[in-house]
Amino acid sequence: MAGEAHTAAATEPIETDAVVIGAGPIGLYQVFQLGLQEIRTHVVDALPHPGGQPLELYPDKPIYDIPAIQVCTGRELVASLLRQIEPMDAHFHLGQKVSQVERRPDGRFLITTDRGTRLIAPTLFIAAGVGAFEPRRLKLPALVPHEGRQVFHQAHDTAELANQHVVIVGGDDVALEWAIRLSRPGPAQPASVTLVHRRDAFQADPDTVAQVRALITGQALRFEAGQITGAVDSPDGLSAVEITSPDGSIHALPLGCLLVFLGLSPRLGTIADWGLAMERKQLLVDTEKFSTSVAGIFAVGDINTYPGKKKLIVCGFHECTLAAFAAAPLVHPERQVMLQYTTTSTRLHELLGVAVPRGSE
């Protein structure tokens, strides 16, 4: 999977107005609201593409509670936000995790990523959702040597699975959707697809479960209840996994490729080391500025907490809006922050690239 769209590891630090960590819906709308305040933004995300949780966890599922959007998928939501923020011309540093944040003598932050990107800005916005996502792994050391070649914990290029015996581990929506996708006739069809889950019951959308059941009944998909407890190696690599059934019996399941979808494990990563006030693994913020306990560092979306907090996208949109207003005087101390409306403000029309260059009074 090709990584960052707009950046390479920089040797010289990049000076900008704001750094947003997280390119999910809230991080993207943060870019928009910062843009309306004439604040230039760089965005860092651990994933190789913008979109965050909706694109990672439910790209094709309908969302019904985004205001004034009757229904959209995670993918559509992200696409709409990317279109909306285009005029803001943000720079994305993708496939990178923030490894260090330091306060410089001039009061600005120096943000360093694990790919060597260095960004200097007076404001930092943490929109990292429930932390950098980390796929939950099968705790089986014998599989480690095969990771990235025959064992995958994330979305995988389906073309490489053609004519392979594919085993999928998991029982949630993501696992089942992969089982459905690979079991259907197509140009790059695997030789066989087997779904392995600890029991014959799934925690997923009823419609998705129904499709999986139909595929199993039609023998397009095999199912095995049990847990993977061992690996069988051959000179060519991993040749089978050992399955322990609920009744305790053990047998070998031959395979060419193992896709593990056990969900994403929330973790705060390096954020936990920054000395920011926290409450139950969330960053504590005020509801006026959505600032953390460190001035200049804001936290918006699922990663923050405050009295009444609900982890909803609609709430994150509000949070990053007020955070942008609060950041404006830090970036432009010489200006007065004014509330302008995109419907009437000619200055905002210029920023949005929709200005009508005609004479007025």
Alpha carbon distances (Å) from 150 to 145, 176, 190, 318, 355: 9, 19, 14, 43, 53
Minimal distance in Å, beta carbon 276 to a copy of itself? 20
Out of 4, 153, 319, 330, the residue judged to bind a copy of itself by CB under 8 A = 319
Give the range of 15-23, 92-100, 162-170, 315-323 binding a copy of itself by CB under 8 A: 315-323
Nearer to a copy of itself, 144 or 337 (CB): 337
Q: How far apart are CA 217 and CA 319, in angstroms?
A: 47
The set of long-range contacts for 286-292, using a CB threshold of 8 Å and a minimum separation of 24, is 287/322, 288/322, 288/326, 289/322, 289/323, 289/325, 289/326, 290/319, 290/320, 290/322, 290/323, 290/326, 291/323, 291/326, 292/126
Nearer to a copy of itself, 31 or 268 (CB): 31
Minimal distance in Å, beta carbon 331 to a copy of itself? 17
Give the range of 110-118, 120-128, 157-165, 348-356 binding a copy of itself by CB under 8 A: 348-356
Nearer to a copy of itself, 118 or 311 (CB): 311
**x-or-dash string of contact with a copy of itself, 121-150, rule CB under 8 A:** ------------------------------
Q: How far apart are CA 170 and CA 87, in angstroms?
A: 41
Helix (H, G, I), strand (E, B) or coil at 241: strand
Bridge partner residues of 47 (DSSP):
none
Minimal distance in Å, beta carbon 273 to a copy of itself? 29
Q: How far apart are CA 161 and CA 227, in angstroms?
A: 22
Closest CA to 34 of 316, 331, 287, 302: 331
Q: How far apart are CA 127 and CA 30, in angstroms?
A: 8
Binding to a copy of itself, residues 205-224 (CB under 8 A): 205-207, 209-210, 213
Nearer to a copy of itself, 245 or 346 (CB): 346
Binding to a copy of itself, residues 227-246 (CB under 8 A): none
Alpha carbon distances (Å) from 205 to 62, 311, 351: 11, 20, 42
Q: How far apart are CA 24 and CA 124, in angstroms?
A: 16
| Terminal alpha carbon distance of the chain | 54
Nearer to a copy of itself, 332 or 349 (CB): 349
- Longest pairwise C-alpha distance within the chain: 85
Number of residues that bind a copy of itself (CB under 8 A): 65
The residue behind tokens 């419907």 is: 343
Contact 81, 35 (CB under 8 A): no
Nearer to a copy of itself, 118 or 222 (CB): 222
Binding to a copy of itself, residues 36-55 (CB under 8 A): 36
Contact 28, 75 (CB under 8 A): no
Contact 110, 246 (CB under 8 A): no
Closest CA to 66 of 77, 82, 79: 77
Minimal distance in Å, beta carbon 71 to a copy of itself? 8
Minimal distance in Å, beta carbon 320 to a copy of itself? 9
2 binds a copy of itself (CB under 8 A): no
Nearer to a copy of itself, 270 or 340 (CB): 340
Binding to a copy of itself, residues 64-103 (CB under 8 A): 64-72, 74, 77, 80-81, 83-84
Binding to a copy of itself, residues 259-288 (CB under 8 A): 287-288
**x-or-dash string of contact with a copy of itself, 169-198, rule CB under 8 A:** ----x-------------------------
Binding site for a copy of itself (CB under 8 A): 25, 29, 32-33, 36, 58, 61-72, 74, 77, 80-81, 83-84, 173, 201-202, 204-207, 209-210, 213, 287-289, 306-308, 310-312, 314-315, 317-319, 321-322, 325-326, 339, 342-344, 346, 348, 352, 354, 356, 358-361
